[in-house]
Amino acid sequence: MTTLQFPPDFLFGSATAAFQIEGGGDADGRGPSIWDAFCEVPGRISDDSNGMVACDHYHRMPQDVALMRELNLDAYRFSTSWARVCPDGRTLNPAGLDFYSRLVDELLAAGIKPWLTLYHWDLPQALGERGGWTNRDTSYLFAEYTRHMVDALGDRVQVWTTLNEPWCSSFLSYAGGDHAPGHTSPREAVAAAHHLLLAHGLGVQVLREAEQNLTVGITCNTTYSHPADPDNPGDVDAARRIDGGFNRIFLDPIFKGEYPADVIEDMAEAGLGSDVRDGDMELISAPIDVLGVNFYNGAAHAAPLPGAKPEIRITEGGHPAAAPMVGSETVRPVARDLPLTAMGWEVKADDLRLLLVRLQRDYTGPAGIPMVITENGAAYDDVPDASGYVDDSKDRLVYIRDHIAAVHQAMTEGADVRGYLVWSLLDNFEWSFGYSRRFGIVRVDYDTLERIPKASARWYAGVAGSHQLDID
């Protein structure tokens, strides 16, 4: 048995997102989001569900915070719903804002650090109807929304994240068609990506102007791409393309103030760079204090087959969907004979170590800022017993344990990582999969809405309480 010790100030916590857990879909003046509209289209969500009730966190928040305290969490990362706070995207709804004020107070009273994310994909539908993130104006309205939030909560919330996973809310949403609003336009995707980055920059500016010495950052979903054959130049280039279109397209503007030249070339047909105006890159690259790293899996990639062309596929629900990797649509993922989660994602914890070391070397190290793992977790086909308890000790627990160990190893190799937030606290609405995929360390019985901690939750409470990890 090997015991890995983490520093006393290392944060062990969990993460959720507003649309996935809150419910309260038409409570207290909340307006519809683009995800509400997406859910209304038959076939868009695999089980035809929606987020109107979800986990009913909106009405059960004190109970959920008490559960977090029971699990010894140091921090809780949550998102605020723009559609709840500003139903039309502009006008403040005090009742919606009050919910988050009460949540923050509840967390602080429980000794749990609030980690607030301003945008986790639930754009007000009123703005979606005006072009969503393809409309540059949305970036400036995000800044106004940020101002409302920091004015209300800046005295109690220290850590602020502008955006969660801008790759998903641009490429997966506007090019892939898998997420709201469900479009398949590469041109729209690159415009959305730039306007999201602009929103980040404008949001950072607002948060700095608050003069409350806040910790400000962004959370990016990241991967580690291996060439299927490191000796094959085509496969090496395929891995480069995936890294560019997934990681560097956001990290380079944030940390280096420019889009990577090779990614501009890869996405030339979609017009990457054509939406940049004077002053944009200076705003986008304003210094941040922490990089949130979301990681679920790495992958291996191979060169396209001769003559391969991008294809539009039709989903089971009858809707068009396409490859979200603009500029590398025909790059082939290659299976590595590894275990898979219920999402079909490969499990190899060492890819997280490799990623963190690379991020430290190329981005956060030169910037002099730390990283926090803001999401990491896995969906499995949970089988509850008669009481609703799930023994996930052989899959989810192992996944989390091995990835925490990979974080520790990366830290010994020089990566400055200050926390690990498991995804997710609760089973929840898993976007286009509805309630058919469970990521939570706590089971939610969707009939009764009872919370039942799984084996992984009880184990994680021990890790969080002791700040040490035992490895066989």
Q: What is the DSSP letter of 10?
A: -
Given 22, 165, 188, 329, which residue is catalytic?
165
What does the alpha-carbon distance between residue 388 and residue 444 come to, in Å, rounded to a whole number?
A: 9
Alpha-carbon gap, residue 204 to 255, rounded angstroms: 14
CB 191 within 8 A of CB 134: yes
Asked if 74 contacts 463 with a C-beta cutoff of 8 angstroms, the reply is no
CA 305 to chain centre: 32
Instruction: Measure the CA–CA gap between 140 and 90, rounded to whole angstroms.
Output: 10
- The alpha carbon dihedral of 204, 205, 210, 211 has a sign of positive
**108 Cα distance to chain centroid:** 24
Amino acid letter, residue 123? L
Any idea what DSSP says for residue 8? T
Phi, psi (5° rounding) for residue 348? -150, 95
CA–CA distances in Å: residue 417 to residues 26, 79, 197, 248, 366: 39, 22, 23, 20, 14
Cα–Cα distance, 162 to 288 (Å, whole number): 10
Would you call 165 a catalytic residue per the annotation? yes
Cβ atoms of 295 and 268 within 8 Å: the answer is: no
The residues annotated as belonging to the active site are: 165, 375
